Amino acid sequence: MTKVAPYGNTLSSSLKWDVSKSVCKLDMLAEVLKGSGKRRILILCHNNPDPDTIGSASGLQFLLTRKFGVKSVIGYGGVVTRAENKAMVQRLGIKMTQLMRVDPSRYHGIALIDAQPGTGNNLIAPKSPPPMIVIDHHPLRKASLKSEFYDIRTKYGATSTIIAEYLTAAGLRPTRRVANALLYGIKADTHSLMRGSCKIDFTVFNYLSPFTNPRVLGGIERPALKLEYLEDYLKGLSRTVLYRDVAVADIGRIHSEAIVPELADLLLRLEDVYWSLCIGRRKDLLIISLRSTSRKHQAGVVIQRIIGRAGSAGGHKEMAGGQISVAGMTEEEVQALTQKLTKKLLKILEREGAHARSISNAPGR
């Protein structure tokens, strides 16, 4: 198989990797993009975009311009809420457009990045024609196979890794802004290469590092926080209940969706905890995050079983998320729903009889 290194021998032998698949993919992408002319491509992130979808979208935009001479616009549904994500967009000067809906007639085609049709976490309606391009690292959805171009690499820890490999295959050196975006996308989605990462993620991370600005990345990772962030955090901790090795936090109403996955990540770090489930309500949506270090069950599969047809859900082996509309429900009905979700999780994990213990009553308080 062909080994490809960009810019001649600028990569040391230890950092060379096989990008022959991406070389072939770029040839396929070139065919799909033929005839675009001056019409733009819509690079569509998933709703409430995170660093990986933002970073990979930025990298894909760079690739389309430099390699294919195709203009594009980055769009998304929902809002950018997490402080780090806002800092990423602002400090790196990434231009993104908030869309209420997608009008395909305005673009030559749609490139869905870090998401797939049929997942319910993007603006592609279920009965809409498939997007022209789909690039993702989550489990393959059958709907993606209908796209003219798709590249789903489930072993990769981040979609940003795929895009960085495309740049290498194209012989393109990323600008500092693009390198910062891609590296932070990888770092955030893999928890600094500690979760769901593979060898190629490490290789790409090392390759991108010399092109980045550590001071800028540090500013993104440590942004200023609003007081309401700590209010939600404290409320979530005070409402956390342990069921043996399962931590469950029903936060209630929250100021920002970002607190739900953040608290889930924190609770999974507790000693002897192997599962964490966090639930928060933002307006008419119930936001759910599930984390795991279990080898027996996959978080993405478990959360789909928990939520079922009540909402949308998906994820990886170790991390997953979902949401359920609670529009029109009373507070009592929402509370009953959260309790039902918890019971379903405990049943799946065979923890139904586990003793419930609030961490706010733990020894030492």
Are β-strands 240-243 and 246-253 bridged in parallel, bridged antiparallel, or unpaired? antiparallel
Tokens matching residue 286: 């119930």
| pLDDT value, residue 4 | 45
CA atoms lying within 13 Å on the CB side of residue 158: 37
**Yes or no: domain 13-221 corresponds to CATH 3.90.1640.10:** yes
Whether 157 contacts 198, CB under 8 Å: yes
| pLDDT value, residue 362 | 55
**Yes or no: domain 228-354 corresponds to CATH 3.10.310.40:** yes
Tokens matching residue 141: 């959805």
Averaged pLDDT score across all residues of the chain: 92
The model scores a pTM over 0.95: no
Per-domain residue ranges of the chain: 13-221, 228-354
- Examine domains 13-221 and 228-354 and report if their fold is the same: no
Q: What are the residue ranges in the chain where pLDDT is below 70?
A: 1-16, 361-365
| pLDDT value, residue 16 | 66
Helix residue ranges per DSSP H, 172-242: 176-189, 199-208, 214-221, 227-238
